[in-house]
Structure 1
């Protein structure tokens, strides 16, 4: 019993140290992930992040234990009195430790760690009873199976023919649908064809960052995507402000432009010479002038080099070797 308790405290101290030193945590699902793949990921992220696995109840208990201020009456008071400090922000992490999860503690560069995790997968066979994460297709072509197994393909509704002493699939066929369980026949067929349709690895589901928890998709946002989403939000605010008649910083430019359009319309209707929009008014009254206005910049650009072309005096060639200070001596080369 004492040995078990000592191991528990040893694990907790490792957990506490990681929580103190690493303010960012990637929460990962570890379904169907083997130990070899985990070791490979550990090697790749070494020096950038630390991976921690353990029983969920043990992790949650360790975090809660660290958050509770010790009292002298407690048996482990001497161990905790100098290490305790309130970890209020960890409260948001505790509810997300459920299921088959692992924690990857990071100090920064979580997007790079995410790329490493997503690129570290291993192919796996389709096992009967498992839920398929993707659609699975069998390509056309020879299967390497003898003609005596034709009935097996007929039972699955797969069109085949006999060519060169082996069964050949005529057209591509879908055998497993995404989100549905793999049947025994489909699993046997894929195994016979040596097809490993699934790829398993750690899946980052959420990110814990200095007390806040958000989706891992946020790490994939680039500056261009952020700017695009911001501009879409500005457009929505401007449209709402114009519709409600409430001026905002986003809608004022549109209001000014709309007001100017109204002034142009009034000036045309009463034949008033509006100096600020005279060119627009002329084009509206006589659309043929638009072609002349469009051609004017082109003509100006073409004529510009001719107007500015002036004879340029030839620059005198500089004798760069006059002041070498006898670097090469008096010898002839």
Structure 2
């Protein structure tokens, strides 16, 4: 009889497998697979086989293509807002606040927000969307993190283009150079090292600190001498 591993043993086994994968592969996409069926997952694996060790951005885009539309089932948490668009539904006549009868069928006259993102789908919403033949949701693998040569980062980084990097560098460059100049200047002031710009600062500091030094020396000179204990030779008992 096969021994069924406990939850703790499964976690330990999974941890060992994960550590081994991190050692064997330098680039890994961590994905969420909520509501992804086994057939859909198998198709993704088939198409990625042989290419999954290439460019992470290309693999991420390939994974994102495999999304299947799905109906709104009762109890599901809506990943997006669901809005019923205006138009003829083809349903039998019935009267609600957002329906009107048009040529023997129900017509929606204004867009109706039926479900908000994050809300659970109720039975009435699921039935209505089913009658309207609306399949509002789509599910697939979602990249949540990227592992590359020992570093984890957000998948949004894969979407950065060269223009984005140049723009970010252009904004940061003035601050980087400014801080570097301040650091070099501070070292020059504190040491014997110098350069023309540092010489100007050193001269300014000399002028700025000179009055304070001179005033301290004058205070020392103006201090009165201590009174002598000599009382001209007279004593209290003389």
Provide the TM-score with structure 1 as the length reference: 0.48
| Map of 2:182 onto structure 1 | 246
Q: Structure 1, unaligned stretches of length 5 or more? A: 50-106, 249-255, 257-333
Larger Rg: 2
- The Cα offsets for residues 243-265 of structure 1, whole Å up to 9 and x where unpaired, read as xx9378xxxxxxx9xxxxxxxxx
List runs of 5+ in structure 2 lacking aligned partners: 185-196, 198-238
The runs of 4+ residues in structure 1 deviating greater than 6 Å are: 1-5, 10-17
Specify which of 84, 109, 113 is matched with residue 138 of structure 1. Answer: 84
What residue in structure 1 maps to residue 71 of structure 2?
125
Q: CA offset at residue 140 of structure 1?
A: 1.2
What are the residue-to-residue correspondences of 1:68-79 with 2, within 5 Å? none
User: How does 1:205-224 map onto structure 2 within 5 Å?
Assistant: 205-224=144-163
- Which residue matches 2:106? 167
> 2:18 & 2:127 partners in 1: Cα distance?
43
- Match runs of 1:151-230 below 5 Å: 154=96, 157=97, 159-230=98-169
Q: Structure 1 residue 211: deviation in Å?
A: 1.9
For residues 145-185 of structure 1, the C-alpha deviation after alignment (integer angstroms, 9 at most, x for no partner) is 111x33xxx2xx4x222112111111222111122222322
Match of residue 38 from structure 2: 35
Selected match of 1:47 from 41, 45, 50: 50
For each residue in 1:168-216, what CA deviation from the matched residue of structure 2 results, as whole angstroms up to 9, or x when unmatched? 1112221111222223222211111010111111111011222221111
Give, in whole Å, the separation in 1 of the partners of 2:15 and 2:115: 44
What SS class does the counterpart of residue 182 from structure 2 fall into? coil
> Are positions 1:113 and 2:64 aligned together?
no
Offset, 1:22: 2.1
CA distance in 2, matches of 1:188, 1:213: 43
Where 1:127 maps in the other structure, the secondary structure is: coil
Residues in 2 aligned to 1:213 and 1:11: alpha-carbon distance in whole angstroms: 19
RMSD: 3.2
Structure 1: how far apart are the matches of 2:17 and 2:79?
35
TM-score normalised by length of structure 2: 0.65
